[in-house]
Amino acid sequence: MRKWIVAGNWKMNNTIDESVALARTVKEGTAGLKNGEVVVAPPFTALQSVREILTGSTVAIAAQNMYFEDKGAYTGEVSPLMLKDAGCTYVIIGHSERRKYFVESEETVNLKVKKALATGLKPIVCVGETDGERNKGITEAVVNRQVRGALDGIDKLDDVVIAYEPVWAIGTGLVATPPQAEDVHDFIRRLLVEIYGCAAADVRILYGGSVTKDNITELIAMEDIDGALVGGASLKADGFLGIISKMP
């Protein structure tokens, strides 16, 4: 049985003090957790401070992005070595906001996934269609392109997590129905089987897009939904811990 993950993406929110306070409450609220995995992704400025708070807890730290080189003249970028030094074990790659606002391509997503794995970071690879793409009936074509592009040249999936985030559901209050989400998760699973064979059965596929403590129970009941990548609801401890409390 795959071990569930609930990951909170704080995006461009929270000062260092606010991040520390939230991390402390999440740490306290998840003490003794044994059957799943909790991850938080603070802004870069708060990574070290959050690490200090979460030391000794079961909560892992993710970065929200990274560059695909270890060092160099890349003003404004953060390398995977820096992320590991700051205490990260996961990194979110290819989030739709990165693709939209910063014009990340399938090629750069792939380079980041490869570099993360080579550095010992576990990539949470985001894929998902826009509302226009869903309305055109090309959801599977879009997701197929994104999954294949992200994983091109990668032989093993041991440390890879996939997050299906329909763009039309991110921050909108809309959420895919459990059957809608499961359809795409099942498609991703079958695609991974086609590429990697039986190893695909162990890959965790998360759902993201307006996840709350009120809708997570029905989502997680689906066969191929292994957890959630949570945005807005992860910024309040009660909302985030409420989601975690509903996990099996």
Q: What is the pLDDT of residues 179-219, one digit of tens each?
A: 999 999 999 999 999 999 999 999 999 999 999 999 999 99
What contacts 24+ positions apart, CB below 8 Å, involve 99-103?
A: 100/167
pTM: 0.97
Give me the residues of the chain with pLDDT under 50, please.
none
Q: In angstroms, rounded to a whole number, what is the distance separating the alpha carbons of residues 78 and 199?
A: 31
pLDDT for 215: 95
3 state SS of 68: coil
Q: Give the catalytic positions in this structure.
A: 95, 165
Q: What percent of the chain has pLDDT over 90?
A: 95
Give the model's pLDDT for residue 172: 84
Model pLDDT, residue 171: 81
Q: Which residues contact 101 (CB under 8 A, 6 or more apart)?
A: none
Query: Rounded to an integer, what distance in angstroms lies between the CA atom of residue 42 and that of residue 39?
Result: 10
